[in-house]
Amino acid sequence: MANLKDLKTRIESVKSTRKITQAMQMVAAAKLRRAQESAEDARPYAAQMNAVLGNLAQGAAESESAPLLLRGTGKDDVHLLIVATSERGLCGGFNSNIAKLARVHANELVAAGKTVKIVTVGKKGRDQLKREFGDMMIDHVDMSGVKRLGYAHAADIGRDVIKRFDAAEFDVATIFYSRFESVVSQIPTALQLIPAKFEATEESSVVYEFEPDENEILDDLLPRAVSTQIFTALLENGASEQGARMSAMDNATRNAGEMIDKLTIEFNRSRQAAITNELIEIISGAEAL
Amino acid sequence: MADTMQFDLVSPERKLASMAAESVSIPGSEGEMVAMPGHAPVVTTLRPGYVSVVVGGETTDYLVTGGFAEISAEGISVLAEEALPKGEVTKEVLEEFHRLAEEDAKDASEHHSAAAARRVADCHELLIRHGT
């Protein structure tokens, strides 16, 4: 028979765990709202950027003089994988899902004889991939000090990526992040950054004049576009992280509740058994007299 | 022809302004230009400077540090890397921009050095103009 005192302590401890998970869920809900708002605010810029670039890229992609960022280096031997995850845990499968996608991708590339280089953003992803791909990691971006994600952070990463590209350190860059669908569904996504791919926008009849000429504009815009895509990815990631944490903590709170109920029943049964036992002892003692 | 056009000023982080304007003057990289309703479609890069929007005869200025603008007959969208209303521009802000531009110029690759140098000069000019 389980000790009554032990059971009581366990119930107390599960109760305080439930309090913590409940608080975390509420904090995540509040943060999620903010993260969603930032993602929403960033949308017009990204959309406009894509529209203009889509327009520009259509004509320029075939031309020989197009910037390398758009055309690519012509090879695809060295791949750079940017794995964006969170700095904190306790958010369900969020980090593992991104890491898993990146791992599958990296393994495929390695099997195909390509060289893989990995840059991680956020320490959870690095921790998960370190064992397997430790020697492929070339950089890590620490976001733990970042309170509110700004464009400047993404621009820093973007600049770094471009610098590596200019130094011919890689041919293709892909970023891994989690696209926010809803609180219960975040979809790990791989997005190719370089060579840039732009969805051909609806056939616009407007023919733009470019000032300075197209290639110079592309030169100026493509690095920005890379930063913008990274920024969008990080924002989506931020919202996904909070969403994942919210549902994970919701589950945890519910599980804690169930556990408390189970433990309480066990506690009551044990108590009753102890009382019955004592009664039997008293009665049989009295009968023996 | 309509007498106003849609003006949007967006930065990567948020939408700063969206209104119907009579004319908008932007610091294009090839020179200042004024867009009015019915303008031929143009895409231009921007250099650091002021975007002036005229609404109902009143002018509002925004400082932009670069980016690009898309002008069409119906409207103009300015996509600025960073932008803030003129009222919030202080000497410190400009000095910061100047410093950043100089930093960029220092480690710019050969290919981009001319553009970076021009940006430094533009920021410097803004700083001087602000002082007077």
For residue A149, the chain B residue with the least C-alpha distance is B13
CB distance A38–B13 less than 8 Å?
A: yes
CB distance A208–B11 less than 8 Å?
A: no
Degrees (nearest 5) of the Cα angle A235, A237, A239? Answer: 75
The minimum CA-CA distance between B15 and chain A, rounded to whole Å, is 6
Fold of the B5-86 domain: ATP Synthase; domain 1 (2.60.15)
- Alpha-carbon distance of A141 to A152, in angstroms, equals 13
Global confidence as pTM: 0.86
- Alpha-carbon distance of A122 to A137, in angstroms, equals 13
Parallel, antiparallel or unpaired: strands A209-211 and A185-194: unpaired
CB distance A211–B44 less than 8 Å?
A: yes
Q: Helices A4-60 and A214-288, interaxial angle, to 10°?
A: 170
Write out the H or E segment, with its range, that includes residue A272.
helix A214-288
Enclosing domain of residue A164: 28-199+212-244
The minimum CA-CA distance between B66 and chain A, rounded to whole Å, is 10
* Bridge partner list, A121: A84, A141
The minimum CA-CA distance between A206 and chain B, rounded to whole Å, is 7
Point out the residue among B13, B42, B115 whose CB comes nearest to the CB of A209: B42
Q: Helices B91-106 and B113-131, interaxial angle, to 10°?
A: 160
Point out the residue among A154, A207, A216 whose CB comes nearest to the CB of B41: A207
The pLDDT value given to residue A206: 64
- Look up residue A280 and give its two tokens: 């039997």
Domain boundary assignment for chain B: 5-86, 90-131
For residue B33, the chain A residue with the least C-alpha distance is A211
- Whether residue A207 lies inside any domain: the answer is no
- Whether residue A50 lies inside any domain: the answer is yes
ipTM exceeding cut-off 0.90 for this assembly: no
The model's confidence at residue B72, banded by pLDDT at 50, 70 and 90, is confident
CB distance A46–B12 less than 8 Å?
A: yes
CB distance A221–B68 less than 8 Å?
A: yes
CB distance B44–A207 less than 8 Å?
A: no
Parallel, antiparallel or unpaired: strands A185-194 and B23-28: unpaired
Catalytic residue check, A70: no
- Whether residue A111 lies inside any domain: the answer is yes
Q: Is B131 exposed, middle or buried (0-12, 13-18, 19+ CB in 10 A)?
A: exposed
| Complete DSSP assignment for A16-85 | HHHHHHHHHHHHHHHHHHHHHHHHHHHHHHHHHHHHHHHHHHHHHTTSTTS-HHHH--S--SEEEEEEE-
The pLDDT value given to residue A63: 64
pLDDT in tens, A189-237: 998 888 877 665 555 556 778 877 777 788 888 888 889 999 999 999 9
Write out the H or E segment, with its range, that includes residue B42.
strand B42-46
Residue A115 three-state SS: strand
- Sign, CA dihedral A146-A149-A151-A157, equals positive
pLDDT in tens, A263-276: 999 999 999 999 99
A227, A49, A43: which is closest to A152 by C-alpha? A227
Residue A247 three-state SS: helix
- Alpha-carbon distance of A9 to A40, in angstroms, equals 46
For residue A46, the chain B residue with the least C-alpha distance is B12
pLDDT in tens, chain A (289 residues): 568 899 999 999 999 999 999 999 999 999 999 999 998 888 888 888 888 887 777 766 556 666 777 777 777 889 999 999 998 888 888 999 999 999 999 999 999 989 999 999 988 989 999 888 888 888 888 888 777 888 888 988 998 898 888 888 888 999 999 999 888 889 999 988 888 776 655 555 567 788 777 777 888 888 888 899 999 999 999 999 999 999 999 999 999 999 999 999 999 999 999 999 999 999 999 998 8
Tell me if the bond preceding B27 is cis, omega within 30° of 0: no
- In chain A, residues with a C-beta closer than 8 Å to the C-beta of B67 are 224
Point out the residue among B13, B40, B77 whose CB comes nearest to the CB of A209: B40
- Alpha-carbon distance of A160 to A163, in angstroms, equals 5
CATH number at A125 reads: 3.40.1380.10
- Sign, CA dihedral B121-B123-B126-B127, equals negative
A-to-B residue pairs, Cβ atoms closer than 8 angstroms: 78
- Whether residue A102 lies inside any domain: the answer is yes
For residue A227, the chain B residue with the least C-alpha distance is B12
Catalytic residue among A24, A60, A70, A91: A91
Work out how many domains chain A is built from and give that number: 1
Residue found under tokens 């975040």: A186
Which residue type sits at B39? H
The minimum CA-CA distance between A150 and chain B, rounded to whole Å, is 7
Which residue type sits at A274? A
